[in-house]
A and B are shown apart, each in its own frame.
Chain A
Amino acid sequence: MKKTFTVGWLYPDLMNIYGDRGNILTLLKRAEWRGFDAKLVELGRGTIKRMEEVDVFFFGGGQDREQALVYEDLLEFKQPPLEQAVNNGAMVLAVCGGYQLLGHYYQTAEGEKFPGIGMIDVRTEAGKKRFIGDVVIDTEIETLNPKTLVGFENHSGRTFLGPKARPLGKTRLGYGNNGSDGMEGCLQGTVLGTYLHGSLLPKNPHLADYLIRNALIRHGVDELSPLDDSVELAAHERILSRAQHH
Chain B
Amino acid sequence: MIRKTAAVWAGKATGALSRITGRGGGTTLPGDVARAIDPRILTKLSQDLTKGSIVITGTNGKTTTARLITWLLEGAGYRVVSNRAGANLIFGATAAAINTAGPDGRLRADWGVFEIDEASLPKAVEEIRPKATLVLNLFRDQLDRYGELESIAKKIESALSALPDGSTAILNADDPRVAEIGLGLKKPPLWYGLDDTSVAARELPHAADARTCPKCGASLHFEAVYVGHDGVYECPNHDFARPKPKITAKHIKLEGFDRLTTDIDHTHIEIPLGGLYNTYNVLAAFAAARTLGLDATYISERLRAFRAAFGRQERLEFRGRHLNLVLSKNPAGFNETVRTAVDLAKGTCFLIGLNDRKADGTDVSWIWDVDFEHLKGKAKVVVPAGNRAHDMAVRLKYADVKAEPPETDPGAALDSLIKATSEGDTAHLLCTYTAMLDLRAELVRRGWAKPYWKT
A13 to B406, Cβ gap below 8 A?
no
Give bound CA distance, A19 to B331, whole Å.
Answer: 10
Cα distance A180–B388 in the bound complex, in angstroms:
29
With A69-B217, A132-B362: A18-B143 Cβ-Cβ less than 8 Å: yes
Out of B217, B365, B399, name the residue touching A18 (CB < 8 Å). B365
**How many A-B residue pairs lie within 8 Å, measured between CB atoms?**
89
C-alpha spacing A20/B393, complex, angstroms: 17
Which of A83-91, A104-112, A113-121, A195-203 contacts the other chain?
Answer: A195-203
Q: Contact at B365–A152, with CB atoms within 8 Å?
A: yes
Encode contact with A along B381-402: 1 for CB under 8 Å, 0 otherwise: 0000000101101110111000
Q: Interface digits, A175-212 against B, CB 8 Å rule (1 contact, 0 not)?
A: 00000000000000000000001110011000000000
**B-binding segment of A50-58, A158-166, A213-221, A229-237:** A229-237
**Is A65 on the interface with B (CB-CB < 8 A)?**
yes
Give the residue of B150, B368, B388 whose beta carbon is less than 8 angstroms from that of A19: B368
Q: Smallest CB–CB gap between A41 and chain B, Å?
A: 17
B268 within 8 A of partner (CB): no
Interfacial chain A residues near B365, Cβ < 8 Å: 18-19, 22, 152, 197-199
- Once the chains are docked, how many angstroms separate the CA of A88 from the CA of B393? 37
In whole angstroms, how far apart are the Cα atoms of A139 and B397 in the complex?
26
Query: Known contacts A19-B369, A22-B398; is A132 also within 8 Å of B144 by CB?
Result: yes
Name B117-153 residues within 8 Å CB distance of A. Answer: 140, 143-144, 147-150
Contact A21 B147 (CB under 8 A): no
**Does B445 count as interface, using CB distance less than 8 angstroms?**
no
Give the number of residues in A that approach B within 8 Å (Cβ atoms): 35
Partner of A25 from the list B140, B362, B363, B398 (CB cut-off 8 Å) is B398
**Do the beta carbons of A21 and B362 come within 8 Å of each other?**
no
Residue B366 is within 8 A (CB to CB) of chain A in the complex: yes
Q: Is B259 an interface residue (CB 8 A)?
A: no
Cross-chain contact A13 with B211 (CB below 8 angstroms): yes
- Cross-chain contact of B212 among A20, A69, A134 (Cβ < 8 A): A69
Asked if A38 is at the interface of the complex by the 8 Å CB criterion, the answer is no
Closest-by-CB residue of A relative to B363 is: A152
A234 touches B390 (CB 8 A): yes
- A64 and B398 contacting across the interface, CB-CB below 8 Å: no
User: Which residues between 217 and 241 of chain B lie within 8 Å of chain A, taking CB atoms?
Assistant: 217, 219
Say yes or no: A20-B368 contact (C-beta < 8 A), given A154-B363, A202-B394: yes
Q: Which of B144, B367, B390, B395 has the most CB of A within 10 A?
A: B390
Known: A22-B365, A154-B363, A199-B368. A63 touches B393 (CB 8 A): no
Contacts of B246 in A (CB 8 A): none
| Residues of chain B contacted by A25 (CB below 8 angstroms) | 368, 398-399
By a CB distance below 8 angstroms, the chain B residues around A26 are 398
- CB <8 Å contact, B394 and A235: yes
Contact digits for A1-44, partner B, Cβ 8 Å, 1 yes 0 no: 00000000000011011111110011001000000000000001
Query: Which residues of B approach A to under 8 Å, CB–CB?
Result: 140, 143-144, 147-150, 206, 211-212, 217, 219, 362-369, 388, 390-391, 393-395, 397-399, 406
16 contacts between A and B (CB under 8 A): A17-B140, A21-B368, A25-B368, A63-B148, A132-B363, A133-B144, A133-B362, A154-B144, A197-B363, A202-B368, A202-B394, A203-B391, A231-B393, A231-B394, A234-B406, A235-B390
